Amino acid sequence: MYEAFEELGHRVVKIPFAEKKLSEEEITKRLKEALAICSCDFVFSFNYFPQASIVCNKIGLRYVSWVYDSPHIQVYSYTVINPCNYVFLFDYAVYQELYNAGIQTVYYLPLAVNEKRLGSLVVSEAQREKYKGDISFVGSLYNEKKHRIYDKFQNIDPYARGYLDGMIRCQQQIQGYYFLQEMLTDELVAEMEKAYPTNPDDSHVLSPRAIYADYVLARQVTALERRELLETLGSKYAVHLYTYESDLQIPGVENRGKIDYYDEMPYVFRCSKINLNITLRSIKTGIPLRALDIMGSGGFLLSNYQQELLEYFVPGEDFVFYESTEDLMAKAEYYLTHDKERREIAQNGCKKVCSEHNMKARIAEIIKVLGDFSGK
């Protein structure tokens, strides 16, 4: 993003916040000091930071944020209404929710790739040999302890637990419609609060119901879905899994551990015959960055149904999507045995992503929204 701003003629000043767990006071102090010594037209960040909005609002400086996480609890902060804010959201469903609630500082903007980095990808024979495979999946199966929040509800009222299990299994079978939040009754939320309190505070307006749906249940749906789909594929095909959970074992699946996002992941996508995208269920309609990364790297994308993918890309021409486990298995078999068609689809997807969904194009959209942007 930094390079894309500069290539478009804008001067960029970096304000580093590499250290984790900085206090709000320290963030405020650093930001104020940095802004005091440079004349900026706006502050930009990936994801939304309430403290940055507070600082910018006080000094009358525009704050532009581009959110790539969903859920991202910070966009439900009371500060999001600050007039300095330009909050760009990649998931149209989230944008629509906030805009319809009267939030005038939110905008819709799909994610993008660094087309120069991915477009110049050259694969050596050694790299091709290292990363080649029939079917690859890169991502978390949410098996680490920090992600296993649903386990905390094992001892709640048996009826409530059974209802939640049923909701999860039902959502797992349905793509294109997210109903977890609306299915959570007040009684269920109260029962969940006993086992895992959300401890609401005055920093955001996100309800316990939304927190349980998006942060707990949606993640559990995704964990089950990813594991079961990989195991089903692994029963018939060679499947490679790249994940931080290096000790995770799934029958028929080769766990290759973690890989670097910049130095290795694009080669996995380019060298695998089929790359899976199994979207985190809390992303309601948006295009996950992983899907764009796969296509931008020249990889063949086989994805779950995601509404916005079909709005920007042509199924069967730029990528392929599946609608059920049976459909996934059938399409995996077809495209593993139809090399020419698979390569053509991968090439089409790569061309479209790099030409239409690149950082420069997105920056131009941001600048257009800012309107009276005056400096470079």
pTM of the model: 0.94
The DSSP annotation for 240-259 comes to EEE-S-TT--BTTEEE----
Do 2-112+359-370 and 115-356 have matching folds? Answer: yes
Give the residue extent of every domain in the chain: 2-112+359-370, 115-356
CA gap 43, 63 in Å, rounded: 5
What mean pLDDT, rounded, does the chain reach? 94
Q: What is the DSSP letter of 338?
A: -
Structure-block tokens of residue 202:
């005055």
8 Å CB contact between 91 and 71: no
CATH superfamily ID and name for 115-356: Glycogen Phosphorylase B; (3.40.50.2000)
The whole-number pLDDT of residue 20 equals 64
Q: Strand 62-67's sheet: what is its strand order?
A: 42-46, 62-67, 85-89, 106-108
- Domain 2-112+359-370 fold is Rossmann fold (3.40.50)
Backbone φ and ψ of 204, nearest 5°: -150, 170
**What is the percentage of the chain residues whose pLDDT exceeds 90?**
82
**What is the percentage of the chain residues whose pLDDT exceeds 70?**
97
User: Residue 316 corresponds to which amino acid?
Assistant: G
pLDDT digits (tens, 9 = 90+) for 24-60: 788 888 899 889 888 899 999 999 999 999 999 999 9
The whole-number pLDDT of residue 42 equals 95
pLDDT digits (tens, 9 = 90+) for 328-356: 999 999 999 999 999 999 999 999 999 99
